[in-house]
Amino acid sequence: MQADTANQTDPTLWLLAVRDRRDRAAFLRLFEHFAPRLKAMLMRGGLRDGSAEDVVQDVMLAVWHKAAQFDPHRAEASAWIYRIARNRRIDLARRKPPPEPDVMVEPEGSEPDAAQILALGQEAALLRRALDAMSPDQARVLEQAYFEDLPHSRISEMTGLPLGTIKSRIRLGLQRLRRDLNELRQP
């Protein structure tokens, strides 16, 4: 068990405790970690102090209620919470919820795939390192895209969704991002 979780960040473990055991102490830790960061992100996006706090509360309550959808094979807690906050921002800007792809669910009774979770964590750690190596200017450009840009109009028979392939492809996607970040660093 120790080895299985060694590559998961603390927030991911807290979110799993909320998902699996409705653990309020773990949720409080998630709140203490993410609420101030979400508030900072929302203020970067143009919200004032008071409204940013209102939205933080909405987002954290959604984290509590939607925790069953969190899948550690495919995301870290921070990415999953980022998505909820982004959707809430769009919702507020448009006064209408943004489109959300169908929820993918693990088949009933499936066991966690420790190797996949480990590999995702390792890939994420490499991406994090690439991010740390960026110049402040470059990081600011990324932050602007992820925190500030809002929707704008200028832009020049379903079967079960199989989960097997998506898991390995997320890692490929992370590799692509890391390669992009590393290339940015070249003068």
Partner 1 sequence: MTAITHHVSDELLDAFVTGSLAHPFAVVVAAHLSLCDACRARAEAAEMLGGMLLDRIAPAAVSRGAQDRVMAALDHAPPAPPIAGSGIFPAPVMQALDGRPPKWRMLGGGIRQQILSADADGSLRLLYIPPGRAVPEHSHGGLELTLVLQGSFSDSEGRFGTGDVEIARNDIDHQPIAGPEGPCICLAATDAPLRFRALIPRLLQPLFRI
Q: Which positions from 38 through 67 interact with partner 1, judged by CB under 8 A?
A: 38-41, 43-44, 52-53, 56-57, 60-62, 64-65
Largest distance between two CA atoms of the chain: 50
21 or 94: CB nearest partner 1: 94
Backbone conformation region of residue 120, classed left if phi is above 0, alpha if psi is from -120 to 50, else beta: alpha
Q: What would the two tokens of residue 53 be?
A: 């706090």
Task: Please check whether residue 41 is in contact with residue 135, taking contact to mean a CB–CB distance below 8 angstroms.
Answer: no
Minimum separation from the CB atom of position 171 to partner 1 (A) = 8
Per-residue contact track with partner 1, 150 to 179, x per CB under 8 A?
A: xxxxxxxxxx-xx--xxx-xxxxxx-xx--
Minimum separation from the CB atom of position 50 to partner 1 (A) = 9
Among positions 67-126, residues that touch partner 1 (CB under 8 A) are 74-83, 85-87, 89-90, 94, 96-104, 124
Minimum separation from the CB atom of position 19 to partner 1 (A) = 14
Cβ neighbours around 17 below 10 Å, total? 18
Torsion of CA 136, 138, 142, 147, to 10 degrees: 40
Q: Residue 18 class from Cβ within 10 Å (0-12 exposed, 13-18 middle, 19+ buried)?
A: buried
Contact call for residue 137 and partner 1 (CB under 8 A): no
Among positions 8-27, residues that touch partner 1 (CB under 8 A) are 11, 24, 27
Minimum separation from the CB atom of position 82 to partner 1 (A) = 4
Minimum separation from the CB atom of position 6 to partner 1 (A) = 18
**CA-to-CA distance for 183 and 178, rounded, in angstroms?**
8
